[in-house]
A = this chain, B = another copy of it.
């Protein structure tokens, strides 16, 4: 992930001093990667996925936003002061979400990346949700239940997109498994601010 591939997206602060600091040590992070079985092959497959997905990002986001938008219990988290979905908020987050797909495929798992995982986690909790976009919202945080449950839609829905560029079944499987590991690893990191330090 090189500096030059990071476009200027409102509120996207990876690598800047505004970002929170991850409490995870290198040793702890190594054990986490080991636990989700993330190895060099997976990193190679993530890079392959990055190429495969690069021109499909808006279509992927249409699927994810379609799912959120058609579920009142989910779109609730995007509501503004009037209790209705806030289009500006949805749009701003969507741009950062697009970048997240690229970052997930390009991740080098360095400190800047780890710190930004902590930042994204906080942005799902009452510590930082709504702040980046200056929103007044009746939803102060994303409930942990949906954060974890979302591993499924964010993983399962990616497969058709991975299959669209004529790769072998083995390569599609490899990319899919690598994506699954990468998403689960990130949700694990994002869960940290939800619990007492001793329980994480």
Contacts and interface: CB of A to CB of B under 8 A. Distances in A.
Contacts of A153: 35-37
Nearest to A27: B73
Binding site secondary structure of chain A? helix
Given A71-B34, A151-B151, A188-B148, A156 B143 contact: no
A194 B200 CA distance: 9
Contacts of A35: 71, 73-74, 146, 149-150, 152-153
Nearest to A74: B35
A165 B100 CA distance: 39
A188 B145 CA distance: 6
A141 B125 CA distance: 24
Interface string A173-200: 0000100110011011001101100011
A32 interface: yes
A177 B152 CA distance: 9
- Which residue, A155, A199, A200, has most C-beta atoms of chain B within 10 A? A199
22 contacts: A32-B149, A34-B71, A35-B73, A35-B150, A143-B199, A144-B195, A145-B188, A145-B191, A145-B192, A148-B148, A148-B184, A148-B187, A148-B191, A149-B185, A151-B151, A151-B184, A152-B180, A152-B181, A152-B184, A156-B177, A191-B191, A194-B194
